[in-house]
Structure 1
Amino acid sequence: MTTAASPPATIGKAALGALGVLALATGALESVVTPTLPLLQRELDMSPAEGALLSIVLLITGALVTPIAGKLGDRYGGKSVLIKLMSVVSVGGLVSALAPNLPVLLFGQLLQGAMVGALPLSFILVRKYLPAGDAKVAIGTVSGMFVGGGMVGLVAAGPVAEQLSRHWLFALPTIVVIVATMATNRLMPHDPPGRSDDAGIDWPGFALLSATLVTLMLVLALAAHIASQPLVFAGLVVLLIALTTGWVFVERRAVAPMVDLAMLARPAVWKSCLLTFVICMGTAGGTYLVTQLLGISGDGYGFGASATLTGFYLLPGVIAASAAGPIGGIGARRFGSRAVVTTGVVLLVISLLGLAAVHSEVWHLVIAKVLIGFGNGLCVTAMLSSTATSVDEGDTGIATSLVLVTRVLGFAVGMQICGAILTAGTPAGSNVSAESAFVTCLVIAGAVTALALLVTRTMHKGAKG
C-alpha cells in the first residue's frame, strides 16, 4: 500500500507574526541604553569612560555572535539555534533589569548582545519555507520590525525611565522576548539540520575576530582623545592591523571558517556589506545628531527637550522606519534591489545635507528623522533580501550575518566619529558643542552616504517577481 507523501511544511501567518514580534522586542531591548545613558550614569555613579563602555559592549557582543549564529543555523537548523540564542538573551535582559551595579549590568548587556544573531536565523527559516518572492517580503517585514523596535525603544526609554525606573527599561522588552520566543517555538515548523559535515567550529577564527572587534572599538573610543594619548592610540592601531592580518590568514586556511572569505568575495555579498557599512555610518550620524540637537540648548540652536518630549518628536521616525521594511521588501520584488537601495540613499543624502543647512525649528528635525529612518530601512532591507536570495539556501544565515555585522560596525563607527567631532568642537568651559560642529558632522555624514551611489551603479538590478 502506498501512502501519500506529507505536504512540505510552510510558515503560517501566526509563525511570521511571532518572528516579527520577536524582532520588535529584541530591537527595543537593543536600543534602550542610548537615550537613558545620562540617567544610568547618575544612578550607578558611572564615569564618562564607563558610560562609553556600557554603550558599546552590546554592539561588540552582537558583532561577534552574529556570524556564529548564522553558521550554526545553516549547519544545525535555524529554529533550534534561534530558541537557544533567545534563551540567552532573555537571561541577559533579566540580569540587566535586576542589576544593582555596573559590573552586573555589563554582564547582562554582554548576554543581551546575542540578540543580533536572531535576524539571520529568522532569515534561514523564512528562506527555507517560502518562495523567493514571498521570502523577500517576509525578510523585509522581519527586518523592518527589528528597526522599528529599535526606534520604539529609543522613544519609550525616556518615559519608562522617568515614570517607572531604570529596571523596567530592560524588564518590559525582555518579557515580550520571552513570550515571543515561546510562541515561535510552538508555531514554527521544525527545520532539519542543513548540513551534516563534521568540520567543527572555527574557534581560532572566532578568537581572532573577537580580539579584532574589541580592539577596533577601543580605537574608536580613544579617537577623541588622540591628542592626550597618542602613543596608546598608535599602539592600538598597530595591534588592530596585526590582528586583522592574523584573522585573514587563519580564515583562509580553516576547513570550515567562521566567516567564509570566499563568500565575502562574491560581488553580491561584498557590495551589500560595503553599502551597509557606508549607509549605516551616515544613518548613525544623523540619528545621533538629531537626538543631540533636540536635547541640548545652545545659543540659537538646540531645543532642550526632555527625554519624554524627545521621544514624542522621534515618534514619526519610528513609524517610517517600521514601514520601510515591508515596503523595501515589496519594492525589491517588483523593481529590483538596486532601485530600492538607490532610492534609500538619495533620501538619506537629502535629509542629512538638508538638516545641515536648516535646523532652526523642531519640525526640521522631525522631517529629517523620518527621511533618515525610512531611507535606511529601505536600504538595509533591500540588501538583506538581495543577499539572502543570491546565495545557496544553506548559506543564507552566514551571508546575511555578514551584512548585519557590517551594519553594527557602521553604526558604531558613525557614532564614534560624530562623538569625536562634537567633543573637539566643544568650547572650553562649556558642555555644549558649537553649532559648527553639528553642521560639520552632518555634511560629512551626507558626503559619505553619497559615495554609496558609486557602488549602487554597479549592482545587479535584482530579481523581480
Structure 2
Amino acid sequence: MSEALAHPSGSGTSGPPRPDTVVAVLAFAGIVVSLMQTLVIPLVPELPGYLGASASDTTWAITATLLAGAVATPVVGRLGDMYGKRRMLLASLAMLVAGSTVCALSDSLAPMVVGRTLQGLSAGVIALGISIMRDELPPERLGGATAMMSASLGIGAALGLPAAAFLADHADWHLLFWTAAGFGVVAAVLVVTLVPESSARTGGRFDLVGAAGLSAALLCLLLAISKGADWGWASATTVALFTVAVAVLLVWGRWELRARQPLVDLRTTARRQVLFTNLASAVFGFSMFAMALVLPQLLQLPKATGYGLGQSMMVVGLVMAPNGLVMMATAPLSARISRTKGPKVTLMLGALVVAAGYGLSVTMMSAIWQLVLVSSIIGAGVGLAYGAMPSLVMGAVPVSETAAANSLNTLMRSIGTSVSSAVAGVTLAQLTTTFGSVALPSENAFRVVMAIGSGAALVAFGFAACLPRRSPLAGTPSAPVTGDPSTPADTSEGTSEGTSAGTSAGTSTGTSADTSAGTAVETRP
C-alpha cells in the first residue's frame, strides 16, 4: 500500500505511519475496552442496593453488555471493511464513552442497563484494531503487533480488577464509570491524531437482512445460555429461545449464501483453515473462562469451609493480575514461534500449556501461591494461542474481509465463554455441600470445573491439529493483498488470499468476562 493510500486526507496524521505509535495506540484502545468489562465486577454483589432492584434483575446490567457485544461485533466488522475500520473504531469508542457516562449518572436499574448496552457496542474495538494493523504495518512487524493486540484483553483485566476493587472500596462507585469514560475519550483522541484511515474499503450495500437475522439468532442463543439456569434449562422460554435461534440461523445461512455482498462470507468461513481456527477459538474461550469462574470463589469462600481462602476482592484482583501480565509477556514468543514453526504449532502448543495448567490446578488449589502459579501457566498458554489465531484466520481471507473475519473469530470466542459460564454454573450448583443453612459449591465441584477446562483445551488442540500442515502466516510476501468481494471465494483448503492478522482475545469475550466473573462473585456467601 502506498503512503498516499495509507494516509488519506483527514486521517489526522502526516507522513508514513510510525508502526510503534500505531501499535501502542491501538493496544491502548483494546486495554480500555477490557477495562470497561472488568470495572463492574466488584460492584456485582452491591448492585441491588445501589440500584434499588432485586439481585436477579441486576444481572441484566451484565447480560445486556454480553448481548450487545455479540450483536455489534460482526456488524461493526463488516461496516469497517466497507466504510473504514478507523471510522468504525471511533464509533465504537464513542459508544463506550456514551455508555460509561450514562452508567456514571445512573441510580436505578433502567439507565444502568441502557448504559451497559452502549458499552457492549464497543466490543469490536480489538478486532478492528488488528484489522487496521494488517493494512498499515509492514509484514515483518505484523505478527508481534497483532499478538500484543490480542494480549490487550488480558492486560486490561490484569489492571482493571484490582484497580476497580480499590476504587469501589475507597470511593463512590460512580467514579468507576467516569474513569472508563475518561479513558475512552483519551483513546479516541489518540486514534484521531495518530492512526491513519485505511484505503482498503469495499464499499457497496450493507446486508441489512443478514445483520438482522444474525442479531436475532445471537440474541436468542446467548439469552438462553446466560439465563437458562435462572429460568430452568427445560423451561418453555429456554427451549423456545434455543429453537428460534437454530431456525433463524438456518434461514440466515441460506440468505447469506445467496446474497451478493453478505454480512459473513460463509464460503470463506468454511475453508479448512478458517473453520478449524474458529472452532478452536470457541473451545478456547470455553476453557479460558473456567479459571475466571473458579479462582474468585475459592479465594473468597470462608476458611471455615476447609478449602476457601477467605480473601477480599482486592486480593482476587491481585492474584489474577499475573495472568494478564504473562499473556503480554508471551505475545512476542508466540509471534516468534509462529514465524519459525508456523501458527498451527503455536496454537497447538498453547492448547497443551492451558490443559497442563488446568490439570495442575486439580491438585493445587489450597494456597494463594498455588492459584497464582496456575493462573500464570494458563495465561501463558492463552497468550501463545491468541497470538497465533490472527495469522491463521487472516492468512486465509482476502483484505476485503479482514475486519469481518476478525469479528467472527471474536464472536466465536465470546460464544465459547458464554457456554463456559453456563456449564460451570450448573456444575457448581449441582455439586454442593452445606455449611449451616447455606449450600456452597463443594471442593470437588471446583475440581470438576477445572478438569472440564483441561478437557476443553485438549479439544482445542484436536481442532488445531486439523489445520493445514503449514498454515500461511499473515503478512507473508507470497500472499496476495487484494480481494474482490464480488468474486466467489475460492474454497480450496489452506489457500491464502490476503495478508493480515486476525482477531484478539476478545473480547469479547470480551463481554462474557462480565458474566463469568459476575457468576463467581454472586455465588459467594
| TM-score, structure 1 normalization | 0.93
Where in structure 2 are the equivalents of 1:90-169 lying within 5 Å?
Answer: 90-169=97-176
Residue 441, structure 1, aligned to residue 449, structure 2: yes
> Which one of 210, 224, 244 corresponds to residue 205 of structure 1?
210
Structure 1 pair 46/441, CA: closer, same or farther in 2 (3 Å)?
farther
Q: Which residue of 1 aligns with 2:512?
A: none
Give, in angstroms, the shift of residue 365 of structure 1: 0.9
Q: Compute the displacement of 1:228 (Å).
A: 8.2
Could you tell me how far 1:53 is from its partner in structure 2? Answer: 2.4
What is residue 471 of structure 2 aligned with on the other side?
Answer: 462
Assess if the C-alpha contact under 8 Å between 2:5 and 2:198 holds in 1: no
Q: For residues 352 and 46 of structure 1, do their structure 2 counterparts lie closer, same or farther at Cα, with a shift above 3 Å needed?
A: farther
Q: Please name the residue that 1:330 is paired with.
A: 336
- Determine if contact 2:58/2:109 at 8 Å carries over to the other structure: no
User: Which residue, 387, 395, 399 being the options, matches 2:393?
Assistant: 387
How many angstroms does 1:234 deviate by?
Answer: 2.7
In the other structure, the counterpart of 1:178 is 185
Equivalence for 2:247? 242
The 5-angstrom pairing of residues 22-101 of structure 1 reads 22-101=29-108
Whether 1:425 aligns to 2:422 is: no
Larger displacement relative to structure 2 (446-455 or 212-221): 212-221
* Cα pair 1:31 1:150 within 8 Å, conserved: yes
Worse overlay, 231-240 or 89-98: 231-240
1:399 aligned onto 2:405: yes
**1:159-210 alpha-carbon deviations (Å, 9 max, x no partner):** 111111221222213211211211111111232351233xx22222222222
State the 1:306 CA deviation: 0.6
Distance 2:42 2:268 in 1: 37
In structure 1, C-alpha distance between the alignment counterparts of 2:275 and 2:359, rounded to whole Å: 27
Which residue of the other structure, out of 273, 278, 283, is the alignment partner of 2:283?
278
Q: Deviations over 1:109-131 (max 9, x none)?
A: 11111222112221222111223
Q: Secondary structure at the match of 1:432?
A: strand
Decide which moves more: 14-23 or 218-227. Answer: 218-227
The amino acid that maps onto 1:153 is: G
Q: Distance in 1 between matches of 2:423 and 2:28?
A: 33
Cα-Cα RMSD: 2.2
CA contact (8 A) 2:97 2:180 kept: no
1:96 Cα offset (Å): 1.5
Please tell me whether residue 261 in structure 1 is matched to residue 281 in structure 2: no
Between stretches 143-152 and 158-167, larger displacement belongs to: 143-152
- Separation in structure 1 between the aligned mates of residue 139 and residue 4 of structure 2, nearest angstrom: 22
Q: 1:56 to 1:226 in 2, by over 3 A?
A: closer
C-alpha spacing 1:182/1:420, structure 2 compared with 1 (3 Å): same
Q: CA deviation at 1:372?
A: 1.7
Decide whether aligned partners of structure 1 residues 46 and 301 sit closer, same or farther in structure 2, where only a CA change above 3 A counts. Answer: farther
Q: What do residues 312-366 of structure 1 show as CA deviations (whole Å, max 9, x unaligned)?
A: 2222223112223343233322331112111211111111121122211111111
Structure 1 residue 344 corresponds to structure 2 residue 353:
no
Contact 1:31 1:151 in 2 (8 A): no
Could you give the per-residue CA deviations for residues 127-166 of structure 1, whole angstroms, max 9, x where no partner exists? 1122333112111112212331133222322111111122
The correspondence for 1:321, drawn from 324, 327, 335, is 327
CA distance in 1, matches of 2:61, 2:135: 37
Task: Tell me, yes or no, if the aligned pair for 1:332 and 1:462 is still in contact at 8 Å.
Answer: no
Deviates more, 1:8-17 or 1:349-358: 8-17
Distance 2:451 2:147 in 1: 29
The more displaced of 71-80 and 144-153 is 144-153
Cα distance, 1:321–1:6 mapped onto 2, change above 3 Å: closer
Distance 1:5 1:382, change over 3 A: closer
When residues 138 and 415 of structure 1 are mapped into structure 2, their CA distance, relative to the original with a 3 A threshold, is same
Aligned to 1:192: 199
| 1:293 equivalent in structure 2 | 298
1:9-44 C-alpha deviation (Å, 9 max, x unpaired): 543122322112111111111222234311223322
| AA in 2 matched with 1:462 | S
Alignment correspondent of 1:220 = 225
- Alignment coverage as a number of residue pairs: 460
CA distance in 2, matches of 1:270, 1:373: 24
**Following the alignment from structure 1 to structure 2, what is the Cα–Cα distance between the partners of residues 361 and 117?**
37
What secondary structure sits across from 1:116 in the alignment?
Answer: coil
Q: Secondary structure at the match of 2:188?
A: helix
Unmatched 5+ stretches in structure 1: none
* Partner Cα separation in structure 2 for residue 15 and residue 315 of structure 1: 26
Kindly indicate whether the alpha-carbon contact (under 8 Å) linking 2:286 and 2:416 is maintained by their aligned counterparts in 1: yes
TM-score, normalization by structure 2: 0.83
Q: CA, structure 1 residues 182+363, in 2 after alignment: closer, same or farther (shift >3 Å)?
A: same
Q: What residue is the counterpart of 1:372 in the other structure?
A: 378
Give the conservation status (yes or no) of the 8 Å contact 2:151–2:386.
no
Kept in 1: contact 2:396–2:472 (CA 8 A): no
Q: Partner of 2:438: helix, strand, or coil? A: coil
Q: C-alpha separation between the residues in 2 aligned to 1:258 and 1:49?
A: 35
Alpha carbons 2:76, 2:124 under 8 Å: kept: yes
Q: CA deviation at 1:463?
A: 4.0
The answer (yes or no) to whether the contact 1:155–1:312 under 8 Å persists in 2 is yes
